[in-house]
Amino acid sequence: MACLFCKIASGEIPAEIIYQDDEMTAFRDIDPQAPTHILIIPSQHIETLNALDPSHAELIGNMTLAAARIAASEGIQQQGYRLVMNCNQDGGQTVFHLHMHLLGGRQMLWPPG
């Protein structure tokens, strides 16, 4: 298993884990771009958004619900936050195991860089 995020999900590589269940792991980004920067990943190895099919709908829904719950537990729910999924080169994806970025604790800019 060569994938970095698979290794984080299995505990082989340490990370500051915020939440974990059978289908996902949430942990702090090693290079945070905001005061709160948490990655939410599926337990199963899915490379990009392009690999999703309808069988993943519940998983992605549950990851989104988890993100909103984590935003509340981080205390950024009311002030606001951003949920981002980068896909391939133009999206700026660097780790090819699907992940959501939960970013908050500062004013986000639009358009994004």
Contact 38, 102 (CB under 8 A): yes
C-alpha span between 36 and 25 (Å, rounded): 16
Question: How far apart are CB 5 and Zn ion at their closest, in Å?
Answer: 5
Residues 1-60 that bind ligand 5GP (CB under 6 A): 4, 15, 27-31, 39
Show the tokens assigned to 82. 């951003």
Minimum CB distance to ligand 5GP smaller for 14 or for 54: 14
**99 among known catalytic residues:** yes
Contact 36, 74 (CB under 8 A): yes
C-alpha span between 84 and 64 (Å, rounded): 11
Question: How far apart are CB 81 and Zn ion at their closest, in Å?
Answer: 25
Q: 45, 56, 99, 101: which is the annotated catalytic residue?
A: 99
Residue of 17, 28, 43, 45 that binds Zn ion (CB under 5 A): 45
Residue 3 binds Zn ion, judged by CB under 5 A: yes
92: partner contacted, choices Zn ion, ligand 5GP, none (Cβ within 5-8 A by kind): ligand 5GP
Contact 24, 40 (CB under 8 A): yes
